[in-house]
Amino acid sequence: DAKTTQPTSMDCAEGRAANLPCNHSTISGNEYVYWYRQIHSQGPQYIIHGLKNNETNEMASLIITEDRKSSTLILPHATLRDTAVYYCIVRLTGFQKLVFGTGTRLLVSP
Amino acid sequence: GAVVSQHPSWVICKSGTSVKIECRSLDFQATTMFWYRQFPKQSLMLMATSNEGSKATYEQGVEKDKFLINHASLTLSTLTVTSAHPEDSSFYICSAGEGVEKLFFGSGTQLSVL
């Protein structure tokens, strides 16, 4: 699986949009981009995933660049409960193993 | 979304004893489950892939005789930490996939070996 690069930490004010970047310059054509988050002392929570097109669900939006070498996870209105470590992972289609990097520690403050 | 149940949430044991952790997929069948461990302030490290009805596949550096995995049914995988020692103290997390796209995680088990 391709490796990803994320900033170690980010801050965001409550109510503002949180934009979390991820670089995956060696991604191959059949690899998806997945985002998970882990709140302290809990198992990771699935957020969203995509292949080429931008995706949106009730939790977040995923913007993937046209060359697929980077992506951005957007939390439109961050709350204090969104404070967590966010992991960007690329993974082969149909192959379920997820390999976690170091992630971005997002701190949402009042 | 799909639910993966993990039990127990935490366990304290004496050095030299064995500990079993259960992972269940509650509303779907999972032919494959995954076991991870996580040390404080570190990322999740994949330990092994659990396959229903066959032997588990272990990642490099993970002792298969130390971490016994059994996947006897399509909804249950167990991880047994044998002869546990303090260095085995960690947060253990299982996951299972509903279909080929989404992978869901249990809530984790905090193991403390005294």
**Per-residue tens of pLDDT for chain A, all 110 residues:** 668 999 999 999 999 999 999 999 999 888 999 999 999 889 999 999 999 989 999 999 999 999 999 999 999 999 999 999 999 999 876 667 888 999 999 999 99
A109 Cα to chain B: minimum distance (Å): 20
Q: What is the mean pLDDT of residues B7-15?
A: 96
Residue-level pLDDT at A97 = 82
Interchain contact, A43 vs B45, CB within 8 Å: no
pLDDT tens column, A12-31: 999 999 999 999 999 988 89
Q: Which residue has the tokens 């304290």?
A: B12
pLDDT tens column, B53-76: 888 999 999 999 999 999 888 999
Residue-level pLDDT at A12 = 96
Examine the pLDDT at B95 and tell me if it is beyond 90.
yes
Interchain contact, A97 vs B49, CB within 8 Å: yes
- Nearest CB to B105 within list A32, A43, A97: A43
Residues of A in contact with B32 (CB under 8 A): 96
Interchain contact, A94 vs B100, CB within 8 Å: yes
DSSP state string for chain A? ----B--SEEEEETTS-EEEEEE-TT--TTEEEEEEEE-TTS--EEEEEESSS-EE-SS-EEEE-TTSSEEEEEETT--GGG-EEEEEEEEETT---------EEEEEE-
Interchain contact, A96 vs B97, CB within 8 Å: yes
A54 Cα to chain B: minimum distance (Å): 17
Residues of A in contact with B93 (CB under 8 A): 43-44
CB-based contacts of B109, cutoff 8 Å, min separation 6:
B6, B7, B8, B9, B10, B11, B21, B91, B92, B93
Residue A95 CA: distances (Å) to CA of A91, A98, B31, B58, B84: 7, 9, 13, 16, 32
Interchain contact, B91 vs A41, CB within 8 Å: yes
pLDDT tens column, B71-89: 888 999 999 999 999 999 9
The number of residues making up chain A comes to 110
Residue-level pLDDT at B100 = 66
Q: Which of A41, A47, A53, A58 is nearest to A89 (CA)?
A: A47
Q: Which residue has the tokens 């009730």?
A: A58
Residue B3 or A6, more confident: A6
Could you tell me the end-to-end alpha-carbon distance of chain A, in angstroms, rounded to an integer?
Answer: 37
Residue-level pLDDT at B103 = 86
